[in-house]
Structure 1
């Protein structure tokens, strides 16, 4: 039986050329990149070449690229790195009620440690209003953290407008979780007011266990890990050379092909939403307007139907999907995102919802169900 993988927001199949690169590096460049002998020096040069490549793709400087293990670490480093450096107690974080669990759980942890947190609510389309961000800012606000693309609904957040309003508050740092955006949504680092931008390689057909955090030049972060300080004393740990180089290669391929893929995905998204209008049992939770939605994620509810019933029925036909985020797929709790949108348990509850997003395997269907962990 032929299998159709519709779960790309959770993890993508790596490019074949990336697989070959990773295999070659594991075979021929296994030395520690921090070692001083020739093999180590050669490995270290490959790390720095990858760093320069990632930086150039966004108009950043190599020193603004910090390699991590993925989105979860990047988000934790950004948030704890800022609030830890400025002194947590009494400081204020502005974030949203619809962030990925790696941001939401970090905010909750910081809250328990003395940081005051404001959780902004979205509108019915799952979008945050810049005016609400402005209204939440106080003299103690140290960080604003708003994702670029919502991992469950695909709602595109107005990070450009939020960045512009934060220009009036230069002491406040702006973090954006870009895990679901890279390779699908354009982003200009140089002209943005974003200070920290997180990404994960396995979301854009790179290897698992590799990610990066763009950190605005001159910004000081408190490290999460004590150790050798391999990443300019911001992140310690032996460099994952195959993952880092494979990620840089995958990123280049994803960004080069993005215009064509975006146009194709938006057309498939339109066809899917139009077809769903003939199915009254299904309710669309994502923005219908493509101008405020990413192209690759569509979120639907089937009120009264348990998601695992649909999941296993589709699996019997070779269609592999998931419900909710991969981080929450085994949870019976209602979707935190859909509940925050005010959709209620009939649409956001464990018996109701799932989301679909891009696949390159079967274009005439081209749906894939929701996003995953960093």
Structure 2
């Protein structure tokens, strides 16, 4: 099971490290290895959240997530995305941006750093909406009840999550984004950039998440109708329409996963510049890490880990909320990637331990009940 799930990750790791040695020797080997570990540590919460979505998808779409999705994650976000940032912010065509990345790495790094406010606002708002929608939903299983119970009641107010997200964006643009950069003596106001990028992130979440939820709800309704009228559905051909609908639902959930992964990878891509400004090594290291995050996601689904450790999903969403706040704060202040990674690890570790304690308590309660029933049976038999 382990080899089947992580086999391709092991292969990509071996190939990536071999290419690194051929490209830049053992120094490059070490840089790629460090970047891989960085990506895995920063994206573990991503795997947990992805698993919660992926378990709703068929085996076919899980394979698509591990193949096509990996190509998008590795080449799209870890290689093409930094180049696109430079092309847009520096007003260069993609070819010139690639040449800049390969020939003038310091300037390339500076251009990506200058684009950070827009990246942080977009990703921060997208992740914040994920957290708010989760925390405002009334759930049967609650982890931190003193927080989740009152917030679930507040969640009954329509559009509350959107209103809070917009308030956060407005406050951010009026505080962290008011300290402008100076470029060649020209005053560049970051507030407008942050506002536009943040609204774009919010719109992206609402479109992709809305379409995914819509088709998922339609699929559930169709499945319930098929159970009630199975024979009639076969004669009228509703089964074929249900398959098509499932395809649409799975496609938009897949799209949602890719945008989610993109938002998670923002801090990894930016943080990678603290280690190297070579886009080849960056793509190799972050790409290897992305493969392990993908494999870990599928492993969690197939092992049923989320069903066994019920608070893991809660911890991951709290980590998402923390990452959203961190991204917004980094518009003005620099926060080390180690802190970002530790926040996610601590929250997920805490939720895992809480799940273990819950399982032990339930097992102990069941043991007491069974012992009590045995004593009752013995006494009634006497």
TM-score by length of 1: 0.25
Indicate the structure with greater helix content: 2
**Which structure is higher in RCO with an 8 Å CA cutoff and minimum separation 6?**
2
Indicate the structure with greater strand content: 1
TM-score by length of 2: 0.24
In terms of Rg, which structure is larger?
A: 2
